[in-house]
Amino acid sequence: MTYLELSAWFVGAAVIAAIVLSLIAGRRRARLGAIALTLLALVILTAVFDTLMIATGLFHYSPAHLLGVHIGLAPLEDFAYPIAGAILLPALWAVLRARRGRRDAEGTS
């Protein structure tokens, strides 16, 4: 399995989970603008810091398993984890807020 295939499965699972969690959260779902800003920040930070870590030799990737596209020194596949986090975590947060809101509403009734 290549890094791209692994990344695709990982991001796909995060997207599916985020959709399900957004449906559960209802009106309190995560805002797309906030997700987009978070995604942009995480991609920039990943590009900068992964390039620094790869340049200093902290880790490397087997070229045989890479697509060959890099942003700085970071391979494209390395961006799957921050992308998945930016998609999944706001949806999870929204569900937890919705649950707490429902619990608080039941407690005051």
The 10 Å Cβ neighbour count of residue 20 is: 12
Sign of CA dihedral 15, 20, 23, 24: negative
For residue 109, what pLDDT is reported? 58
**Model pTM above 0.85:** no
Winning range, highest mean pLDDT, from 6-10, 33-37, 105-109? 6-10
Q: Which residues contact 49 (CB under 8 A, 6 or more apart)?
A: none
